[in-house]
Structure 1
Amino acid sequence: MANPATLLYQQFEKWNHHNASAEQARTPSHDNWETQRLMVRHLDGIDEMLRVLEANGRNVSVYRRTFPAWCAAVFAYPGGWTGNTSAAIDTQTLGHLETLAERLDGELPVADEDLLDRLSDYLTDVRNVLVADIDLPGDLRDHLAQVITHAEWCVSNYAISGDFELRVATERLGAVIGQVSGRSRMTDAWDTVKKNFVWPFAVGIATGPALTAVTQFAIGG
């Protein structure tokens, strides 16, 4: 699918109008600001991927210098939402983002379509076990429910959420399931949930803060 730089670039192309305001070009109220909020998350994804490249000794200085311009474009700064030409995005800003999008190809594992379907079914199973676990503490129950909902959204909206957002959501799901299984009385049910964990990427491994929790029962399970 696509890395966050590609998805942000594609959205910038849709938003980029030189004779319109940002409000006219984006109409954020039409989707309750969902697209706008998602582009902010893509900025976070780009930042994390640049950090990985930097840690591996790669030169990403031109992208670091341009990153504030991408942030400004997402937030319609400094032209604001109602300025007559505030929808315009600088050509160089777009050009560097397009270059980064190509460079980041291959840096993320790509979701497999069949595994996405399996993940969707798995999320339904997890939700059913959660509903059945009536003794689970309320705060933990609510937290897992929110994590499931976000993962479901990432699967259903994969075309705009992309691989990075899906990877983060899946890692987070694995981490929270690990927490729940350690505090639940329904040991057998949650053991089955862990055993059947679906990692939706055909290649690559989980990374980030949820790495240990996921790999304990998913990647090698």
Structure 2
Amino acid sequence: MSDLLAGLAPWPAVDFSAFGEVEQKPLNKIQKFVAAFLGRNWVAIPHVTHNDDADVTDLEARRQAHNMQGSTKLTAVPLLVKALAEALAAFPQFNASLDPASGTLTLKKYVHVGVAVDTPGGLLVPVIRDCDKKSASQIATEIAALSEKARTKGLSMTEMSGGCITLTSLGHIGGNSFTPIVNAPEVAILGVTRARPWPVPARDGGIAWRQMLPLSLSYDHRVINGADAARFCRFIAQRLASAELFD
């Protein structure tokens, strides 16, 4: 890492109090932990972010109908996790980890998906294991339990280890797109923001309104090329339109 930073100017040392009143507040334990890894990942991984939209009009209709039946309530997140699990099977280079020192790529035969959780102390990423073998309802139950534990008791390193890809969602807040940072040693991370109505041509020549979900896929360009990233996002968009996700 020191070689990557060699030759850069030193970090500026500034007495901010010379410009006005200030208050100093140390980062908490979680913030320090996350900052160290995010800083390393951003510097060490050549990031590219591919942005796309998924038509989730039918998905939202099915999700609302599912939730009205009194079964396990589903948000879009567990359905996205299922779509990601299927995408990893279709695009195995995304379910991999690179060892830069040896130039070895490890392809994984399991499917574990990390789901970023916003906690009072900072960002944590619990890992949902064997997502390819679970229903959306099972995944939703596990996400809810781990998210609650993350916000209250905290998570063990075991509960945050072994992920193949990470999902981070800002849909409950808003936004159009962003650049999520790859969670090493994974090679990709999918960010989503709030679905929005979007006009498209209707068959009768008029305008039809569809619900479009923004997808922001950041990936390690040493392992994944742009064409495969575009195909990966298109695959996810197609799976989100399928009723099979609710099985």
Q: Is the shorter-chain TM-score for this pair beyond 0.5, marking a shared fold? A: no
When the two structures are superposed, what TM-score results if normalisation uses the length of structure 1? 0.30
As a proportion of its length, which structure holds more strand? 2
As a proportion of its length, which structure holds more helix? 1
When the two structures are superposed, what TM-score results if normalisation uses the length of structure 2? 0.27
